[in-house]
Amino acid sequence: MDIAGKTILLTGGSAGIGRELALQLRQKGGDIVLTGRNPDRLKAMEDSGFAVVSADLSNAAGVDALLAAWRARDLDILINNAGQLVDHDFRKGSPDPDAADDCIYANLNAPIRLIAGLMDNLKARPAASIVNVTSGLAIAPAARTPVYCATKSGLRFYTLALRAQLKGTGIQVTEALPPVVDTQMNDGNPMKKMPVAECARQIVVAIEKDRDEANIGLTKSLRIAESLSPALAKSLSLRF
């Protein structure tokens, strides 16, 4: 898909991968509306010339408010990038179940509700694209982040089924599977981290080339390991 002139809704676009996606998509000529929940970061993006919508996607009210704000506006590309990482490790103590609920909603429920609520907008365009940002951990889990892994694997399978449903409709469904990326979410993670700009670049290329999947960085190696031996892939990832 040629990004120039396309109207793009990008969730979680004020920091991390989302912020870099916004910058690179604008360079390609996209008309971007981005969401976020941190007022200072949103203001910084607005001051940089982006249209912004304040939206906390960890609950139904936030998703409904975003859908109400969008209404019948044209939409060419929906990028479900917003996500949360929750500490849910019983080896460290008792996890917070409310924090887990927020993570589940933001990472899984919100993308599903946004896709459902904006499907008519997407179908009305000559060609459209849905991009769901999951994770390499959607393939094989890490022991320290079971809730995050569960949400990303859930979104992965939703994406696979959605792609089959929308075959022949003119709506491309792309899954982006980043590795550990150098963002605030991964502060303290000892693993080698991919630069944010490179991760975003590969996602943009996948959008332009209408790819079904963007296996980014070390995720490519994990996909190979999983194809050869799912048990091997799990044993490698569960160490972390």
Active site residue 148: yes
Distance CA 75, CA 117 (A): 12
Catalytic residue among 148, 162, 215, 237: 148
DSSP secondary-structure letter at 71?
A: T
DSSP secondary-structure letter at 106?
A: I
Distance CA 150, CA 156 (A): 10
Distance CA 56, CA 36 (A): 7
Q: Which residues contact 188 (CB under 8 A, 6 or more apart)?
A: none
Nearest Cα to 113, choosing from 40, 39, 61? 61
- Across-strand partners of 129? 77, 172
Can you give the C-alpha Rg of the chain in angstroms?
Answer: 17
Helix (H) or strand (E) holding 54: strand 51-54
Distance CA 114, CA 162 (A): 13
Could you list the active site residues? 148
